[in-house]
Structure 1
């Protein structure tokens, strides 16, 4: 009887030890991770942010955000949102910030920014056989843009002096409609970030001709609500600056472009 009790007690002690060990192991793992989650609102906008074949967010901005936020103690969790609702989602607290090839230029006073961390060009693309070769050739033409983007505001407000008055402008909520609308001949031209158009050509085997004149040279940033006083934007700015200085940004971009230098030229794009 005494032997059975000893065996039972030993078994209980062993089981408790396992439980304590598992608990300590879990705590250790959590401590090792030590990163606070932060929700990043994004658009499906290759090559900056989209899901890979396994349904996992990937792309330039995902890679940059993962490293930059890691440096300041956060783990970004990307969530795709209706792009035209981004400001409302941010103000409501549904997301912590916006980062998806998001142009700072012209929006400096609309958000609390970290950036610019990369440079980009907003451009016009046409069919290779089109007779449109300059911005002036767009007079009276039909153009498609994504809703709430810089091209929409530039064309609507006439903020580019070289951009003539177009005939019609269609604003799509989903950027994936742009190239098909052009390919089908529904519009004469489309406007978007140059990198996104180049990626679309690569992914879908279509041919576009990008005009030499840009609509606007912009800096890309991560936007926080104006009333966000947590200091995350300021800390993230420091991480971006460090990544530009230590070569991390260049290393990330080399995964996507043979020559990343044009995208790293953020001098002069600051407010």
Structure 2
């Protein structure tokens, strides 16, 4: 009888321990492991490698946030096409790299408040005169695979029905390189990225007048990670109120573009 009683107590203790572990919030999970893994790809100026080191607007802001949470920030370069798999498998804890908020993505992740307004535009070589959607007829265009530009263009029958070919690349930077090499005539990309490219390469590129779509950036967390999301949002609010984010925006864009949605 005593043996069965001890066994029963062990089973109850195991069940209670498992229940306690299951009731831990996502924020407690991050605090317990002591690290937060941020997923990013090559998308300057939001996140990119410079001299082999990760940097960019989003990464600098994330460093401020996790200093205040008190956990180590780890940066993991990911294949953008596999970002949801990386997030769900817990190889990363959030996607924070100029991630566009869409209805489709809301089914797979929970978003922070929007922090950037953005447009999708046409970038081409100076003198190409590719300004409008109509100008893209019979042209080869490039987009980043699984990006908001890819999604928007794929749904735009005017563009898909008139262009010669839409080519997809792993990153927006690769699409620009393909344009430089003559494989595509123009790239449809986020305006924030395009203006950064133009600023870095004076007179080499031009931005068209057409707006293919409007969007907002947010941080993507796992669907169940609402406590972590709320904590990050609260810290971003505090940083913004204390004027600590604005100088970083000016550093990368020349003006403050950060918003609190």
* TM tier, smaller: 0.7 to 0.9
Q: Quick one: distance in 1 between partners of 2:250 and 2:129?
A: 34
Q: Quick one: distance in 1 between partners of 2:165 and 2:242?
A: 46
Matched, 1:153 2:116: no
| Structure 2 match to 1:36 | 34
Q: Is the 8 A contact 2:43 2:171 kept in 1?
A: no
**How far did residue 100 of structure 1 move?**
0.8
Shift in CA distance, 95/206, structure 1 to aligned 2, threshold 3 Å: farther
| Structure 2 match to 1:245 | 241
| Structure 2 match to 1:195 | 192
**How far did residue 266 of structure 1 move?**
5.4
**How far did residue 143 of structure 1 move?**
0.7
Q: Quick one: distance in 2 between partners of 1:71 and 1:225?
A: 21
Equivalent pairs counted in the alignment come to 228
**How far did residue 162 of structure 1 move?**
7.0
Query: Which of the numbers 251, 256, 259 marks the counterpart of 1:255?
Result: 251
Q: Is the 8 A contact 1:104 1:219 kept in 2?
A: yes
Query: Which of the numbers 126, 129, 142 marks the counterpart of 2:127?
Result: 129
SS in 1 for 2:240: helix
TM-score (norm 2): 0.78
Shift in CA distance, 243/126, structure 1 to aligned 2, threshold 3 Å: same
Q: Is the 8 A contact 2:44 2:193 kept in 1?
A: yes
Matched, 1:264 2:258: yes
Alpha-carbon RMSD across the aligned residues, in angstroms, is: 2.4
**How far did residue 212 of structure 1 move?**
2.2
**How far did residue 93 of structure 1 move?**
1.1
Give the number of the structure whose alpha-carbon radius of gyration is greater: 1
Shift in CA distance, 132/205, structure 1 to aligned 2, threshold 3 Å: closer
**How far did residue 202 of structure 1 move?**
4.2
Task: Give per-residue Cα distances to partners, 1:82-122, cap 9 Å, x unaligned.
Answer: 11111111111111111111111443333111131222222
| Structure 1 match to 2:115 | 117
Shift in CA distance, 258/203, structure 1 to aligned 2, threshold 3 Å: closer
SS in 1 for 2:115: strand
Structure 2 regions of 5+ residues with no counterpart? 1-31
TM-score (norm 1): 0.75
Q: Is the 8 A contact 1:123 1:213 kept in 2?
A: yes
Shift in CA distance, 224/141, structure 1 to aligned 2, threshold 3 Å: same
Give the 5 Å matches for 1:43-192. 43-53=41-51, 55-106=52-103, 107-158=105-156, 163=159, 165=161, 166-192=163-189
Shift in CA distance, 266/120, structure 1 to aligned 2, threshold 3 Å: farther
Q: Is the 8 A contact 1:115 1:240 kept in 2?
A: no
Q: Is the 8 A contact 1:125 1:209 kept in 2?
A: yes
Q: Quick one: distance in 2 between partners of 1:42 and 1:153?
A: 19
Shift in CA distance, 41/210, structure 1 to aligned 2, threshold 3 Å: same
Task: Give per-residue Cα distances to partners, 1:1-29, cap 9 Å, x unaligned.
Answer: xxxxxxxxxxxxxxxxxxxxxxxxxxxxx
